[in-house]
Amino acid sequence: MDNFNIPYDSLNLHISDKLTFCKEHGIDLLIEDSYETCRELADNGIKSILMTTKMNSDIEDKEIVRVNNWDEIYEEIEKYKKNREFRKCLRERNSKKVMEKHELVDINGKKTGKIFNTY
């Protein structure tokens, strides 16, 4: 991963129960070549990227991102990071809701009502 400038916290190989490992270590994205593991992770709210192999090339699943090489892995990680940052901004924004009141007026300047915007 260093060769492709992909940042990572650790590289863990030969883990038998990847779901438990991800939950225990707070891992929210895993690169994997086993479709069954990717499906189990997705069913438990953990995103995975499935690396195409001969063993999984015929499996289609719209919920699991499939890649064919490290360049595609990099692209998917970048998308994931942007989406995660966007969701974080939305959460922060929603936790600080502000209500604005606007007066509605017609073309003659007569007040016709009020509208409230929450953001």
**Each residue of 42-74: pLDDT tens digit?**
999 999 999 999 999 999 999 999 999 989 998
The pLDDT assigned to 102 comes to: 53
| Residue corresponding to tokens 């953001």 | 119
Q: Please give the model's pTM, rounded to 2 decimal places.
A: 0.65
pLDDT the model gives residue 109: 64
Specify the pLDDT at position 103: 58
pLDDT for residue 118 is more than 50: no
Considering the chain, what is the average pLDDT of its residues? 80
Q: Rounded to an integer, what distance in angstroms lies between the CA atom of residue 77 and that of residue 59?
A: 22
Which pLDDT belongs to residue 91?
A: 64
Cα–Cα distance between 10 and 21 in angstroms, integer?
13
Question: Which pLDDT score, from 0 to 100, does residue 85 have?
Answer: 74
**CB atoms closer than 10 angstroms to residue 13:** 4
Q: At what angle do helices 18-25 and 35-43 cross, to 10 degrees?
A: 50
Q: In the predicted model, is pLDDT for residue 117 greater than 50?
A: no
CA distance linking residue 6 with residue 96, whole number of Å: 34
